[in-house]
Amino acid sequence: MADQGWCDDSEYHEAVRRAERATRFGWSAIAWTTGTLGCALITIGLLFVAAVIAALYVVVASHY
């Protein structure tokens, strides 16, 4: 009548599996957010450069 419950690691392995899944989801969310913000910053930068070039064009064209 030996109690074999002490070597049952199934709950531990399930907890590790859930933690790994949560970690993957967290890193995916971080990567997606960083990528989206990066694209937004690049777009804003390009729009700023286009506005500066347009303003310079207007200034130069008004002197002729």
> Could you tell me the end-to-end alpha-carbon distance of the chain, in angstroms, rounded to an integer?
103
Does the pLDDT at position 60 exceed 70? yes
Residue 21 — very low, low, confident or very high, per pLDDT cuts 50/70/90? Answer: very high
Question: What average pLDDT does the segment 8-35 reach?
Answer: 94
Buried b (16+ CB within 10 A) or exposed e, 30-58: eeeeeeeeeeeeeeeeeeeeeeeeeeeee
Residues 31 and 23: their CA atoms lie apart, in Å, by 12
Does the pLDDT at position 53 exceed 70? yes
Does the pLDDT at position 29 exceed 70? yes
Does the pLDDT at position 2 exceed 90? no
